[in-house]
Amino acid sequence: MSLMDVARGAYVRSPEVVRRSLAPLISLVPTRLKFGGSYRKWRERIALASADPAYADAQHLASLRAIIGRAHALSPFYRELIERAFGSSFDASSFELSDLQRLPILRKDELRLAGEAVLTVPRGEADRGDTSGSNGERPFTFYLDKDRSAREMAFVYDNWSRIGFTEQTGKIVLRGFGLHPKGTSISQWEPALRELRLSVFPMTHDDVRHYLDLIDKHELEYLYGYPSAIELMCRHMCRIGRLPRRPLKGILPISEPLYPHQRRIITEVFGNVPIANFYGLSEKVLFAREISSDGFYQFDPLYGLAELVDEDGQPVTEIGREGRLLGTGFTGMSMPFLRYDTEDRATLVEPPTSGNGQRLTVERLTPRRKPDFLISADGNRVVTIDFTPENPRYFEGIEEYQFFQDRPGHSTIRYIPTADGSETDALRVANGLTRRTHGKIVFTTEQVERLAGGRAGKRAFIDQRLDISKY
């Protein structure tokens, strides 16, 4: 683990005041050094695996044995689980791909209960991460390697390089950054990373005019962010009749599925601009590149082992059949994920084989976390995928929750309190979200016994009763 490998991630995650003071210095560091030696080595490995299926196949098995061996040696939780399946004389060096199916499928609840016994390092040597708890679910806490940034960026930049994006290229960023709690700043130029960060809420016509001025000023040609936010910005540009002066060279979507109607809007606004889409998880378990505009995704064999299983946990082998997506991650050492149920679904296109370098290909990849909108008082869409803070303490006192909306500018938080929760907890959240949307949406609360559900008992993050197509 080199200093630069850790430093880049630490800089990205540091408070704004720290980044502001360090940015001029960081911007002077040559790109070759800024990304570190680990980044360069991973880019070389990814390129070699892409060109040589035999190399990819061998590295895939070696990586599986390494993570299984580490989990067995250093994690009490996984040691018990592995020895229950393979006995106390378990030897990871003879582990085969097919042996993985002898281990149980793990869900968030099992990992929550296991606590720190899942870790292979002391908790203080890892970074804490939390899922946002969308769709009314409780947030899930996990732990990531401190030096993960360089590895992650190697896979991401390799994918982006397909459309001409490099380490030196600047980008427009639409990711819902909380740039200022009172809304007095909706944009921020990050010189060290060459990022123009733009707030995605509430994103009015005037906001987009301001954004276009900044895009023109910095001469940026790549747009990076949530597809729902990119769609929203495109709609505004259509209405105000304005585009960036420099034609875009690429779209870099993240975190959400990119739907056909969003592709159409992007094409209508920007022309036939290339899109470098990929699939990933906050838990850093799997990484897949979109390899066609038809929505085919191919999983990277160096990043993790992807499985597609049916409702009984059996492998999906029939082409065109849908299944649940499981992941065994290779790049995260602090908290291994073995046969982790991502809760996402996909349809089999091509199974992984030694001949294709162990690259599973799927279509109709449907993440558990879907984009949603609320409508503000002035009739604008508010992107909600990054709407609620990921800190689980934000929702203390609330067991489950759901947003309900049937009129613009107003939303009710329907909630089920915890055993020691109260209306005060819900009001705290409601008031905080009203401030977060700069008063464009007023939130009220309603305690309920259960939340509205859809087919198969699934609950939407937002019970939206407005006709979104009108906004």
Distances (CA, A) of 25 to 197, 294, 304: 19, 43, 35
What class does CATH assign to 166-275? alpha beta
**Higher pLDDT pick, 437 / 309:** 309
For the domain bounded by 373-470, which CATH number is listed? 3.30.300.30
What mean pLDDT value characterizes the chain?
A: 86
Q: In percent, how much of the chain has pLDDT > 70?
A: 83
Separation between Cα atoms, residue 173 and residue 229, nearest integer Å:
10
pLDDT score at 257? 78
DSSP 306: E
> pLDDT tens digits for 197-238?
998 876 788 989 999 999 999 999 999 998 878 988 998 898
Is the Cα dihedral 150, 131, 365, 342 positive or negative? positive
Instruction: Give the residues across from 410 on adjacent strands.
Output: 407, 442
Separation between Cα atoms, residue 118 and residue 100, nearest integer Å:
18
Separation between Cα atoms, residue 265 and residue 253, nearest integer Å:
14
* Residue 11 binned pLDDT confidence (cut-offs 50, 70, 90): very low
* Residue 323 binned pLDDT confidence (cut-offs 50, 70, 90): very high
* Residue 169 binned pLDDT confidence (cut-offs 50, 70, 90): very high
> pLDDT tens digits for 103-130?
999 999 999 999 999 999 999 999 999 8
- For the chain, the structural domain boundaries read 166-275, 373-470
Nearest-10 Cα torsion for 94, 330, 339, 77? 80
> pLDDT tens digits for 439-470?
889 999 999 987 765 433 345 678 889 887 78
